[in-house]
Amino acid sequence: MGTLYSEIPSWMHRLPAGLKLFLLALSSVLLLALSDLRIQALAFAAIALLYASLGAASRPTRRLVVVAVIASALVGGLHAATGQPWLGLASGLRLVSTTMLGAMLTATTRFGDLLGVAEWLLSPLARLGLPVERLALQLGLMLRFAEQFFVQWQRLADAYRVRTGRSGGWRLLAPLTIHMLITARKVADALAIRLKL
């Protein structure tokens, strides 16, 4: 499974992942706290310029930004319909700005680098019982299981079609769940032996 990271280099690729994450958090908090339309418009213009400066590197995230623009237009329209057009404009600009900030981080930071920062940030949660130190292992397992879901679904669908001549559709969900639960139990046994968990 691919990520939304862009291999096409840009100036933002050279910044450390932790710094980018910190700047994203800081700027999005500021954007949420400030409601003045002029500030929102200025921030939007600056962020749009930054986003455009990434050039082709922004390509994997452009669809998300388009979704944000459409959603913002609808939110703005709703505000306008209730007699608050300026609030609608400010809210719409904020939504697109923050989405572009997030998109910039995702497009220019490798999955592994973000994972490292996330593990460091989440380490205090280990005290609450969250298996933070095993985040990389869990993510790997998750992606493998996601693949397995499709393989198993295909097998069940083929078997159902051979038996009945029809497509299984939602009827396959419950047997698929049972298959996957049994698979997960086997994986747990293997993990317990190999990793001495």
Partner 1 sequence: MPMTSEHHTETRAQRIAMVALFAALLAAFGMIPKIDLPLGVPITAQTTGVMLAGCMLGARMGFQAMVLFLAAVALGLPLLSGGRGGMGVFFLPSAGYLIAYPMAAAVAGMVMRALAGKHSSPARLAACAFAASVAGGIVVVHAFGVLGLMLLAKLSFVQAAVGTLVFVPGDLVKCALVALIVHTVARGLPDWRFGGRRL
CB of 15 to partner 1, least distance (A): 15
Is 71 a binding residue for partner 1 by CB under 8 A? The answer is yes
CB of 165 to partner 1, least distance (A): 23
Give the helix ranges, DSSP H, for 34-172: 37-53, 62-81, 85-108, 111-122, 135-164
Is 134 a binding residue for partner 1 by CB under 8 A? The answer is yes
Quick one: which of 8, 75, 156, 157 contacts partner 1 (CB under 8 A)? 75
Quick one: which of 47, 58, 101, 168 contacts partner 1 (CB under 8 A)? 101
Query: Would you state the structure tokens that stand for residue 39, as one six-digit string?
Result: 């500030």
d(C-alpha 1, C-alpha 95), whole Å: 28
The neighbour count for residue 161, using CB atoms within 10 Å, is: 12
Q: How many residues of this chain interact with partner 1, rule: CB under 8 A?
A: 81
Residue partners of 131: CB distance under 8 A and separation at least 6: 138
Residues 152 to 181: which contact partner 1 by CB under 8 A?
153, 170, 173-175, 177-178, 180-181
Residue whose pair of structure tokens reads 């609450």 in the numeric block: 128
Is 90 a binding residue for partner 1 by CB under 8 A? The answer is yes
Quick one: which of 26, 56, 66, 74 contacts partner 1 (CB under 8 A)? 74
